[in-house]
Structures are given as structure tokens and as C-alpha cells.
Amino acid sequence: MQQIIKIIQTDKLIILLFLIFLLLTNTYYGEDQINPSATSGYYYLNIADSFPRGMSVKDSSQTYIHGERFLISYFVGFIGHMLDMNNFNIFKIFTYFTILILIILNYKIIKIIIPQKNKGLLYFFLFLLNPYIVRFFLSNPIMINDLVFITSISLLFFSFLNKNNILFYVALLLAIISRQTSVLIILALVVSLTLPYKSEFIDTKKILFSFLFLIINYLISQKYLEISNIDIFYESQFFGLINYFQNNFGFSKFFKFLFLPILSFGPLFFIMIIQKLRNEIFITINERNVFFIILFILFVSQPILSGPLIAGKNIIRLATFGYTILIFLTCLSIKNLNNISKKANIIFIIIMLFWSLHPTFSKIKIFELFSKLLNY
């Protein structure tokens, strides 16, 4: 028991040092400095500032999309109104607290999957040092909806690991109120239930409750949109790739578009390829793994189907919704952790440390030139 406590304490010290590194080197944007990678923040801040009235933004498809996700920002506005505080500061408090919850949650998940001493740190740092998760939300605290959604996915995975129904419903509820992408979770549940293997956790009751949560959220959001006089729907978002192929196709631009998620997934893909070449990864076919594989594919497919003109660079952020899923599945699939040497672990972590230095979200600009080359 003392040995286990010692391992955990060592892990926590190392994690704390890396977290301090992120905090000291990160860029922090203010209320009037919403950067192009976080334009949704403009709508979320307006929702909070407009409390208790509806949004005061020009009617458009983007306004409609963000109005459907109003609940979290509306709650921020309620708190700010009650405490007579600046809403941006409320967003910061909520976001930093949620980041802490996400870090603890992902640490617990990886520790459950890989309990051996220091063996899980490499995979935890794949999450912690990803430039589009902790760094991104430290820079852009108004983007709390995306953060809550990513946290809900980790909580969903945790509920499968522990077969905990309450955590499952909490995760689902958080996903639904934070993003319309939650529909893909319900789709993955339905598909998984129809596949020919024994269902131990997914059942009809969960799917029915999922639809119930979705319908209730839809009705509430429609009432808010009505109050806000927002009615321009966003059906064009669903056909972006088709329209792109028909009217604006360019091979070079499309290739760059498909390449962009590598900026988030690069180190993870590199480690997975090495382990696959060394025959160290074996995916077990069971209910949990199949469900999350389907969910990952759906998350990555959604921005691709929107196309370069609609999704643009947001493909990185949107594809990253499935990033932690891929980390967890990789951890579950490793056949022999002892094949990864301590030296290799250190080299990989150093690479990830440099990879985290995103020119927009960190003060260290060593990749600024590379970023300009990818600007299209």
C-alpha cells in the first residue's frame, strides 16, 4: 500500500511540474481579444452578457447554432448577475475549474487502465501536452462549451470502465447541453446496440433516456431562440463537402485541410504507428471498445463532411473531441508495456513538450513560421 502511494505521489509531482510549465508559457487572451480559433466565444459571451434577455447578435446560421447551446453561458450570466461580477471572470473561474476536473479524470482513467509504476505517464502527457486541449482553454476561457463536451467524453469513458449508470447519464447530459455533436453519441449507442455481441452496459433504456434528454434540451433551446428572434437555420453546414467538390475544389487546399488534425494528433499517431509496427497493439472486440471506435470515427468525420469552406481550421478543434478516446483505446490495446524503455518514454515526452508550443496559445513562438506555411 505504501509503495502504491509513493508511485502516485511521484506521478503527481511530475504532472504538477509540467502543469506549471504550461501555466507559465501559455498565452492568455482577454475579454476583447477573442482570437480566430475561438470565435464561438463571441456568441457565448453575448449570451451571458444579455442575461436575462435573449441574444443581442445579428440573426445568422452561426447565431442559431450557438443559441442552441445557450444553457451554460446563460448560467454564467445568471451567476454574474447575482454576484454583480464581470461575466468574463466567471467564465475563467468555471473554465479553470473544469480543466482541473478534466486533468484529474483523465489521470484516473489512465491509472485504471495502466496501473503499473510510471507506465501510464507517457499516455497522460499525450493528453496534458496536447496544444488544443489544456493550452487552448487556458487561452480561451469563454470556449467552455467545448471544454465541457470534452470532459463529458472522458466521463462517458469512465462510466463504461466502472459500469456506472449515474455517471453515464451525467456525461450524456453535459454533452447534450454543451454541443449538438452529442447527437453522434446517441447514434453510436444505437449502432452499438444493433451489433452482434453481448451488450453489458448499453441498453434500450439508456438510448430512450438519451433521446429524452435531447428532446428536452431542443425544446428549451428553441424557446430561447424564439425570445432572441433567431430563426436562420444551418442546413448548409451538413452539405459543405458536397458543395466544395461541386464548386470550389482544389486538391492542394483539400489536402492541407485533411492534414490539419495532425497538428493535434501527431505525437499520438507516431507512438501508435511505432507500437503497431512492433506488434504491440491488439484491439479487443467488445462492447466498450466498439462503441468508442464508432464514436471516434463519427467525431472525426463530422468536420470533414462540413468541408474546408465551412469547417476550415476548426477541423483541428472538432476532430480533437475524439482525441482522448484514441488515447484510452490505445492504452487498452497495448500488449506489453515493458517493451517501451524508460529512455524512449523520456524522448517521447520531450517531443510532446515541444509539440505543445502552439504559436497562438503559447508565449514561445518557435513554430510560428510552420504555422504561416499551413495558413491557407
Please report the DSSP string for 277-292 in residue order. Answer: HTT-B----SHHHHHH
Ranking 151-155, 178-182, 245-249, 348-352 by mean pLDDT, the lowest is: 245-249
In terms of Cβ atoms closer than 10 Å to its own Cβ (0-12, 13-18, 19+), residue 177 is buried
Class of residue 44 by CB neighbours under 10 A (exposed 0-12, middle 13-18, buried 19+) = buried
Model confidence at 298: pLDDT above 90: yes
pLDDT of residue 175 exceeding 70: yes
Rounded to two decimals, the pTM is 0.91
Place of cell 451567476: 79
The burial of 134, by beta-carbon neighbours within 10 Å (0-12 exposed, 13-18 middle, 19 or more buried), is given as buried
> Which grid coordinates are listed for 96?
479553470
CB 154 within 8 A of CB 113: no
Identify the pLDDT of residue 376: 45
> Does residue 190 register a pLDDT over 70?
yes
Structural domain harbouring 125: 2-373
Assign 3 a pLDDT band (cuts: 50, 70, 90): very low
Number of domains observed in the structure of the chain: 1
Convert the pLDDT of each residue in 248-283 to its tens digit.
777 778 888 889 999 999 999 998 888 887 777 777
Q: What is the pLDDT of residue 2?
A: 46
Q: Which of 103-112, 144-153, 230-239, 331-340 has the lowest mean pLDDT?
A: 230-239
The answer on pLDDT for 306 being more than 50 is yes
Lowest mean pLDDT among 17-21, 82-86, 229-233, 351-355: 229-233
Write down the pLDDT at residue 1: 41
pLDDT tens-digit map of 119-156: 788 899 999 999 999 999 999 999 999 999 999 999 99
Residues of the chain with pLDDT > 90: what percent? Answer: 58
Strand partners, 334: 281
pLDDT of residue 31: 86
pLDDT tens-digit map of 62-92: 888 999 999 999 999 999 999 999 999 999 9
Cα separation, 354 vs 322, in Å, equals 22
Mean pLDDT of 159-187: 96
The pLDDT, as a whole number, for residue 115 is: 83
